[in-house]
Amino acid sequence: MALIEFNKPFGVMCQFTNEPGGPVRPTLADFIKMPGVYPAGRLDLDSEGLLLLTDDGRLQAQIADPRFKMPKTYLVQVEGDPDDATLSPLRIGVRLKDGMTLPAEVERIDDPALWPRDPPVRFRKIVPDCWLKLTIREGRNRQVRRMTAAVGLPTLRLVRWRIGDWSLDGLAQGEWREAAS
């Protein structure tokens, strides 16, 4: 059984081929040369960070299926300067168009030591920004971005740092390694 930890760069598609007739973008095939592995979950084109790939369908389901409630931790740069009252709704659940989210763990953190993003995040001198560490236990489409927007904190940069016990610790952007399952 293979399990791969991959640090997905911004702008890379979470699949091995481009859509026929669609724009040509970087894909997993540009980075990972191991046949038979597939992503366990997804990261949006404009999100970065940890993506797990495996050749084990059962493990893939345990990682990706919301029924298993595997924690996923994100480092999120948001526009704004939130206090505890602003973050509180995230901790109890936020109403989105597709229903209430489960409670998230969230805290403000110092700027993390991350690789530069290409292209860089847009900055506005008159609007403050900060970093949050946010952990969710479900995986709806663009969930973290929608949750932060719902509390008035648009996401500027989103990096998935951890899935369960697997993390990006020591893994450079665009690199992958075999992991213990």
Catalytic residues: 44
> Residue 67 CB: number of other CB atoms within 10 A?
8
Closest CA to 177 of 55, 7, 28: 7
The structure tokens listed for 100 are 């209430």
Q: Please give the C-alpha separations between residue 43 and each of 106, 123, 124, 176, in angstroms, as whole numbers.
A: 20, 23, 26, 15
3-state secondary structure of 125: coil
Closest CA to 48 of 155, 179, 175, 173: 173
**What DSSP line would sit under 73-106, residue for residue?**
EEEEEEES---HHHHHHHHH--EETTEEPPP-EE
Phi, psi (rounded to 5 degrees) for 81:
-130, 75
